[in-house]
């Protein structure tokens, strides 16, 4: 119950006058709510009449989040609608058509590669949105990634998503959490899985609990790797209904976190969405990842390294296109839904390696073959039709070679950004025979 906190809802009896499937009443304090199915099948609850509203405001329900105004409006509508049977549904539709307009978002992992690009995207395109970045600044997080953004708009909180007491302080007042923070590198997860379970599984659970407590909209960033891999000649691609079959400790931890989000939606009615994206490239990516590793090795005069046979296929997307897709899903996506994000960028590792070498003026065969990754996924491929048809999203960076050329230029121009991490990263790879 939104008023007394007890789990004591029952459908009001017909004789109560609230003869409508949308109304529920708490058996303990008689608080009445309207339960409306949102577009994604999620039930939202709103107080329905003036006494309920007054009670809700008194007990602090309305102050718990900045969604107050949004919630009061449908509440009043619902009050009027009580006299017009069946209008609850119409109200629900009105609410979802308005779209979700967050004013204050919490971005976890906003000092990492994709998170920082998302923060930059929102700061540039939505200057009215305040962004709190929560980042532990692990080896993969760098506060320089969000340098230069207005301090009045973007604030950094250094901390761990597993720290429940910290979340208690920073989640209230946020309209939405966009959850990027993760241990993200497959090779590291094979070497030491433990931090992956802690951050990706436990950390996601802590955030979900905070979002539930303060009724905050949640968007979970996930990966196509949860679906396992496809054969090189398989005509199929991953869709939202492909069964989960993760291969590495990393992808298993991401799969677990996705399932937690679904459980929180179904059990607690959390307003959450999930996106599973393909391989990102672009500025600010850590030098441990495939494309930056090869670019920076060539810049240092070292030979780039290709795992196994080099036939493995990845489906590349520019990180800015990932950002625009996440924004669309956050603001217009259907609650409870999963959206796959991809830009039809399938390419074998060896083809990408040769393209990098050519664009950097080297012979296309001047790389070394190294030990393959254990359990190496063969191919990822995303079918993003749901996102494109439902939300009208499409990628802007459709020329992979041009995007790669710009990324190479970024690493050439920003040597001071990546150089401090390069030696330690290569030492780790050397120890693993890669």
Active site residues: 224-225, 250
Query: Residues 312, 323, 384, 425: which binds ligand TDX (CB under 6 A)?
Result: 312
Q: How many residues does the chain have?
A: 434
Query: Residues 45, 305, 354, 379: which binds ligand TDX (CB under 6 A)?
Result: 305
357 binds, among ligand TDX, ligand NAD, none (CB under 5 to 8 A by kind): none
**247 belongs to the binding site for ligand TDX (CB under 6 A):** no
Q: Which is nearer to ligand TDX, 275 or 349 (CB)?
A: 349
Task: Supply 84's token pair.
Answer: 């017009």
Question: Which residue is at the shortest CB distance from ligand TDX?
Answer: 223
Task: Supply 303's token pair.
Answer: 């030979």
- What is the size of the binding site for ligand TDX (CB under 6 A)? 16
3-class secondary structure, 134? strand
Looking at residue 146, the DSSP 8-state letter turns out to be G
Query: Tokens 């497959």 label which residue?
Result: 186
Alpha carbon distance 301, 364 (integer Å): 15
129 binds, among ligand TDX, ligand NAD, none (CB under 5 to 8 A by kind): none
Q: Which is nearer to ligand NAD, 75 or 273 (CB)?
A: 273
Question: Which residue is at the shortest CB distance from ligand NAD?
Answer: 112
307 binds, among ligand TDX, ligand NAD, none (CB under 5 to 8 A by kind): ligand TDX
Query: Tokens 């058509």 label which residue?
Result: 97
3-class secondary structure, 74? helix
Q: Which is nearer to ligand TDX, 67 or 289 (CB)?
A: 289
Looking at residue 263, the DSSP 8-state letter turns out to be H
Largest CA distance in the chain: 82
Task: Supply 302's token pair.
Answer: 């070292």
Count CB-CB contacts under 10 A for residue 369. Answer: 12
Binding site for ligand NAD (CB under 6 A): 108-109, 111-115, 134-138, 140-141, 160-162, 180-184, 199, 203, 221, 223, 254, 277, 279-280, 286
204 binds, among ligand NAD, ligand TDX, none (CB under 5 to 8 A by kind): none
- Tell me the C-alpha to C-alpha distance, in Å, between residue 30 and each of 5, 297, 298: 12, 67, 70
3-class secondary structure, 28? coil
Query: Residues 96, 184, 200, 273: which binds ligand TDX (CB under 6 A)?
Result: 184
Q: Which is nearer to ligand TDX, 33 or 223 (CB)?
A: 223
Query: Residues 3, 33, 108, 279: which binds ligand TDX (CB under 6 A)?
Result: 279
Q: H-helix or E-strand containing 313?
A: strand 313-318
181 binds, among ligand NAD, ligand TDX, none (CB under 5 to 8 A by kind): ligand NAD
Query: Tokens 């196994």 label which residue?
Result: 308
Alpha carbon distance 289, 304 (integer Å): 12
How many Å from the N-terminal Cα to the C-terminal Cα in the chain?
56
293 binds, among ligand TDX, ligand NAD, none (CB under 5 to 8 A by kind): ligand TDX
**Which positions lie near ligand TDX, rule CB under 6 A?**
184-186, 223, 225, 279, 289-290, 293, 305-307, 312, 314, 349, 373
């Amino acid at each position: 119950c939104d008023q007394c906190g007890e789990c004591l809802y029952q459908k009001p009896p017909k004789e109560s006058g609230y003869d409508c499937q949308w109304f529920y009443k708490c058996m303990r304090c008689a608080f009445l709510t309207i339960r409306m199915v949102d577009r994604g099948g999620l039930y939202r609850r709103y107080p329905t009449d003036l006494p309920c509203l007054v009670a809700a405001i008194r007990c602090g329900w309305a102050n718990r989040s900045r969604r107050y105004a949004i919630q009061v409006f449908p509440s009043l509508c619902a009050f009027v609608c009580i006299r017009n049977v069946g209008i609850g549904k119409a109200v629900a539709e009105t609410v979802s058509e308005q779209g979700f307009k967050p004013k204050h978002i919490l971005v976890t992992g906003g000092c990492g590669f994709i998170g920082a690009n998302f923060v930059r995207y929102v700061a540039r395109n939505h200057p009215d949105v305040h962004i709190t970045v929560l980042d532990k600044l692990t080896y993969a997080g760098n506060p320089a990634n969000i340098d230069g953004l207005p301090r009045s708009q973007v604030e950094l909180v250094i901390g761990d998503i597993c720290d429940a007491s910290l979340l208690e302080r920073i989640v209230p007042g946020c309209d939405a959490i966009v959850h990027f923070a993760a241990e993200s590198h497959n090779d590291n997860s094979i070497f030491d899985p433990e931090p992956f379970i802690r951050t990706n599984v436990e950390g996601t659970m802590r955030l979900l609990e905070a979002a539930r407590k303060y009724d905050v909209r949640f968007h979970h960033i996930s990966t196509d790797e949860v679906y396992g891999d496809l054969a090189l000649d398989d005509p199929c691609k991953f869709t939202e209904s492909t069964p989960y079959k993760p291969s590495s400790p990393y992808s298993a931890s991401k799969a677990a976190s996705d399932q937690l989000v679904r459980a929180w939606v179904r059990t607690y009615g959390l307003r959450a969405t999930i996106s599973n994206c393909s391989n990102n490239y672009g500025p600010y990516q850590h030098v441990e990842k495939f494309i930056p590793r090869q670019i920076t090795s060539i810049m240092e005069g070292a030979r780039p390294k290709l795992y196994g046979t080099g036939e493995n296929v990845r489906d590349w997307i520019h990180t800015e296109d990932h950002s625009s897709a996440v924004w669309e899903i956050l603001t217009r996506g259907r609650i409870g839904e999963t959206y796959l994000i991809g830009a039809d960028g399938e390419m074998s590792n060896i083809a990408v390696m040769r393209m990098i070498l050519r664009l950097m003026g080297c012979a296309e065969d001047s790389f070394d073959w190294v030990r393959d990754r254990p359990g190496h996924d063969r191919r990822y491929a995303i079918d993003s039709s749901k996102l494109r048809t439902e939300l009208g999203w499409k990628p802007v960076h459709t020329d992979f070679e041009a995007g790669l050329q710009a990324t190479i230029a970024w690493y050439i121009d920003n040597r001071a950004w990546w150089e401090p991490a390069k030696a330690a990263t290569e030492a780790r790879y050397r120890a693993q025979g890669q």
